[in-house]
Chain A
């Protein structure tokens, strides 16, 4: 029995950040990296299944990204994941969620897990489609925004509760193997102590190239994505001003502003 947990190292903005010269992203100097918050929950859900049943469960975390991602994978290993896989090739740079789903599906074909968990979305890009596109490439059933899961290792199906708008829940029975995207709050993620993370450094992280999973540069990257970032920018702030004084003064000021606006 194997659960594949797809995780992502996300970027958070530092104070006073700047946009890159090509206007496609934030300057890397101003990014702080950490494991995506949703992934803490999906890993925990996998760990719970591993620890509750009698069947042996292997939890494998997989991520697509450069060297720096090892740090986040190590955190997952510290929390108890059995193995970690990192897929990278420079040609992957610029891939959208669909292309990443293609890569993850290729990994899944090789690993043959019984379940795939992913976070509902990533906190930096927020496409909320990586997990689903993975399911599409695998042709597996999927359930998105899972807020509760009843599943035991080896079951043929799982019962999930999906979070809908307005506080509604939808209970769905889904055949396994399946891809579930896990919502925040489904459990209480465990703390990875720093000693644990340090000790996890001893566990190897398998580095996988595109050819290892039967893909090539022609399957990934910006050129083979279905969407492209055109521009990233900070919208101009709207202006607001409190006009004070007597009614007459306020009116005068108002007229002045309107005239300025019209360019009179």
Chain B
């Protein structure tokens, strides 16, 4: 290397002063256009409602940087695309930093302070790094082009499931055109950059301080070699260079000016969206302030600025759509389309100087940019979309907020309306008398304590399905026996327990949820206990994540964690091992919602079963279709149910004996699906508790229980 000042980047050599001035003028114009665009975007976000996500800003920032640096969220479930994006990202960042340092020296440090650093070793090293960055950028872009053109990925098809052929917003071809314009202009900037570099080398090949160090920009050097071989002389290179220079320069400036107006803005919006990611998004839904007149989102300005920002962060990657169970069975819902519709709506309605009239801000309806009621009701609030979105878009809170508005207007399935009224009247979705809630306990050979009357260690919150559904009652009884056998001091709330409200809230009936939650919290607070256990992941989620917002802070665990501990400490003794070949279905509310992936698997292994995973497992588990209140809405006939789709997946496991679930609703959904999807006789659906039950030898009273 050589640290001589001669070795440096040739910038405006041989340019007329007017040309340089012109270039600067265009540069300032581009920046002005950029800044105006940013201003319009920020004005748009500011038209949303406030959001309290400003806490722990530094922490959030660090998290965001980590996520971006590792590309963690992008390589998930699509390694090639994630890596290609990584190359583009890295290339862009390095080239941007490189160009900025040139500006820093040329336009600021040198004229003002006479400081120069862009020469010698520093320059050479940078040339090398930038050359490699450029190469990575182009390679990444080529892969993206290949992927779009030849891989025919369904997730990159922008045709909408909720619109018909012929509707103006059906195929969204303008998005496809934008994608290609973006890829082509970006790749052209990269390619012309290299050719420019090569041309410069050929042109100045008689200057040793340029030519001798050409290997520090290897791509340029290689191209230069080729050009020379093809017969390009120094003069012709010198004559050609200005054209190329202007082309490259203008394209780059246009690119910068376009950032806030096109998909390129995701550079900023995605980063900010990641920074404001809510770890509890969907798990803990937003409260409706008491003084707010209407619940939920009716107009685009009801969205918070954060929601509006999420809309802009979406890169249309389609991962959410690919993971969506409603979409998989052909329901008119794609989480991406909900986001994109609202984005188009926001861009249309909120970008002008004046806000349009209230009536023109309604996001519900059948028009362009509006979201259909059927779309919103198709959602299972399974959180698969939120989980996989690489840029932290939070679909479910938006969907539920919009449903709240539908509920207020009474726009829902009659059966759902009936169920909500039933829950209001009886406190459970089965319409049973409160007195019958613990009827299942009467058949047990021992008494269960009433936690309202005496202190217990563990309070068992049973939940509606486990209490009233006859099939689940058997499981509930087994769990009671298990706890009794293990010597756990536990009790129930009996008729004072109400539906926990998890699904009522996800339906969007916030008032009813508040009623249920506050009643349960009041009941729980009057009892003396150390922690809560439940077999119902839905109750588990809302008590764990949402009751605290209403003043109910309780220790709670899902039974899988408790049972695992009881087995490990020897309180539950397994008298025999099972040798079943099983698979496990992660319930959304235990797995994705609360990261309870491991405990059930460990219990399965402790029982001696051989666990074979389905292709979609853990955070990619496929919803049974019952979430978000869909258990109270009949599925349309003629289209596949998500549960049947799941059965098919399990059916592919060779020699599968048991399909294990750990959620009462799953048991109901999958036992039904097993019958209808033709796998009956091949394998069975069992609640994990039933398998544990097989391994425990109860004392004598068990016999009396069975014959009673």
List the interface of chain A (C-beta within 8 A of B).
Answer: 14-16, 32, 34, 190-191, 193-199
Nearest CB to that of A16 among chain B residues? B435
List the A side residues contacting B417 at CB < 8 Å.
191
Say whether B365 faces chain A, with CB atoms less than 8 Å apart: no
Give Cα A34 to B424, complex, Å: 10
Residue from A190, A193, A197 having most chain B Cβ neighbours under 10 A: A193
List the B side residues contacting A195 at CB < 8 Å.
288, 295, 408, 510-511, 514
Say whether B557 faces chain A, with CB atoms less than 8 Å apart: no
Say whether B21 faces chain A, with CB atoms less than 8 Å apart: no
Say whether B509 faces chain A, with CB atoms less than 8 Å apart: yes
Say whether B515 faces chain A, with CB atoms less than 8 Å apart: yes
Other contacts beyond A191-B412, A193-B410: 16, CB < 8 A: A14-B434, A15-B432, A15-B435, A16-B433, A16-B435, A34-B425, A190-B410, A191-B421, A193-B295, A194-B512, A194-B515, A195-B288, A195-B510, A195-B514, A196-B511, A198-B514
Partner of A193, one of B293, B426, B432, B509: B509
Nearest Cβ in chain A — how far from B83, in angstroms? 48
List the A side residues contacting B9 at CB < 8 Å.
none
Within 8 A of A (CB), among B240-290: 288
Nearest Cβ in chain A — how far from B373, in angstroms? 14
Give Cα A32 to B421, complex, Å: 13
Say whether B407 faces chain A, with CB atoms less than 8 Å apart: yes
Give Cα A257 to B372, complex, Å: 67
Within 8 A of A (CB), among B425-463: 425-426, 432-436
A32 and B407 within 8 A (CB): no
A191 and B410 within 8 A (CB): yes
Nearest CB to that of B288 among chain A residues? A195
Give Cα A14 to B410, complex, Å: 28
Nearest Cβ in chain B — how far from A44, in angstroms? 11
List the A side residues contacting B410 at CB < 8 Å.
190-191, 193
List the A side residues contacting B293 at CB < 8 Å.
199
A15 and B433 within 8 A (CB): yes
Nearest CB to that of B411 among chain A residues? A191
List the interface of chain B (C-beta within 8 A of A).
Answer: 288, 293, 295, 407-408, 410, 412, 417, 420-421, 424-426, 432-436, 509-512, 514-515
Partner of A32, one of B426, B509, B510, B515: B426
Residue from A32, A190, A195, A196 having most chain B Cβ neighbours under 10 A: A195
Give Cα A198 to B512, complex, Å: 10
List the B side residues contacting A194 at CB < 8 Å.
424, 509-512, 514-515
Nearest CB to that of A14 among chain B residues? B433
List the B side residues contacting A191 at CB < 8 Å.
407, 410, 412, 417, 420-421
Going nearest first, the 8 A-B pairs with the smallest beta carbon separation are A194-B511, A195-B511, A15-B433, A191-B410, A194-B512, A190-B410, A14-B433, A193-B408
A198 and B433 within 8 A (CB): no
List the A side residues contacting B425 at CB < 8 Å.
32, 34
List the A side residues contacting B433 at CB < 8 Å.
14-16
Nearest Cβ in chain A — how far from B304, in angstroms? 19
Given contacts A191-B412, A191-B417, contact A197 B511 (CB under 8 A): yes
List the B side residues contacting A196 at CB < 8 Å.
408, 511
Give Cα A59 to B78, complex, Å: 60
Nearest Cβ in chain A — how far from B434, in angstroms? 8
17 A-B pairs whose Cβ atoms sit less than 8 Å apart in the complex: A14-B434, A15-B436, A16-B433, A16-B435, A34-B425, A190-B410, A191-B410, A191-B417, A191-B420, A193-B511, A194-B510, A194-B514, A194-B515, A195-B408, A195-B511, A195-B514, A198-B514
Nearest CB to that of A191 among chain B residues? B410
List the B side residues contacting A34 at CB < 8 Å.
425
Nearest Cβ in chain B — how far from A76, in angstroms? 15
Nearest CB to that of B412 among chain A residues? A191
List the B side residues contacting A198 at CB < 8 Å.
511, 514
Nearest Cβ in chain A — how far from B131, in angstroms? 62
Nearest Cβ in chain B — how far from A164, in angstroms? 27
List the A side residues contacting B510 at CB < 8 Å.
194-195
Nearest Cβ in chain A — how far from B426, in angstroms? 7
